[in-house]
């Protein structure tokens, strides 16, 4: 009886290991990086939108997916840790800030399953403003890459974020699919050692936050 149990446990473990291997191999077929972008017109000034999206401490008050935002180190005011539903956290660093036009937040923890940055561009329009968020993402692990590509929409978090932003201003969430700007080709042979340590720019692989 005991040997029979061990036998079936071994069979189940083998099947599971084979499935994980198969998914990992399939993940290698997908591009590691992606670029996706979404825009939202609002009846607000660029300054009002900027004040809202750059006030990281108060993001949990209007975007339900973020349950907590805090500065882990007061000596680094540009670094924030955001905790999301499901007890998942990301360390974000503000790498560019040009009020009230452009904000760039980059994942500071390179050991996580996801790497990349989010670019917020705010432009004035005849009636209000438009905010465009572009995600440059990278999933190094082929297993997680397969799961993300097959079971998730890359633009999902971007759309949820912009819908929550529209709701905060009591406006309709009329999202626009925009063509993300691809980074210009670079000559790898001319890179400095510091530049080689930076994450490479990502290309669009699908359709994204």
Confidence band of 195 (pLDDT split at 50, 70, 90): very low
| Tokens 């007061």, located at residue | 74
Report pLDDT for 90: 92
pLDDT digit string (tens) for 23-46? 555 556 667 888 999 999 999 999
Q: Are 57 and 51 in contact (CB under 8 A)?
A: no
> Above 50 in pLDDT, residue 113?
yes
d(CA 158, CA 120): 11
Sign of CA dihedral 204, 205, 208, 209: negative
Kindly report the pTM of this predicted structure: 0.74
Token representation of residue 34:
């992606």
Give the whole-angstrom CA distance, residue 172 versus residue 165.
Answer: 10
CA gap 100, 98 in Å, rounded? 6
Domains of the chain: 31-180 (3.30.530.20)
- Listed in order, strand segments (DSSP E) in 99-170 are 102-107, 115-124, 129-138
């Amino acid at each position: 009886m005991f040997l029979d149990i061990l036998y079936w446990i071994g069979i189940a473990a083998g099947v599971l290991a084979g499935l994980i291997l198969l998914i990992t191999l399939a993940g290698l077929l997908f591009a590691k990086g992606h670029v996706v972008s979404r825009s939202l017109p609002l009846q607000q000034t660029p300054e009002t939108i900027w004040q809202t999206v750059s006030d990281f401490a108060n993001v949990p008050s209007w975007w339900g997916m973020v349950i907590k935002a805090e500065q882990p180190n007061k000596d680094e005011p540009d670094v924030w840790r955001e905790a999301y539903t499901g007890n998942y956290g990301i360390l974000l660093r503000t790498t560019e800030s040009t009020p009230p036009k452009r904000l760039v937040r980059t994942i500071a923890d390179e050991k996580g399953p996801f790497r990349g940055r989010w670019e917020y561009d705010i432009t004035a329009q005849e009636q209000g403003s438009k905010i465009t968020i572009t995600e440059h993402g990278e999933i190094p692990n082929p297993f997680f890459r397969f799961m993300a590509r097959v079971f998730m929409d890359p633009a999902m978090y971007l759309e949820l974020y912009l819908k929550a932003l529209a709701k905060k201003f009591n406006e309709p969430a009329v999202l626009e699919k925009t063509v993300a700007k691809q980074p210009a080709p670079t000559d790898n042979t001319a890179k400095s050692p510091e530049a080689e340590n930076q994450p490479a720019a990502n290309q669009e692989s699908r359709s994204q936050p």
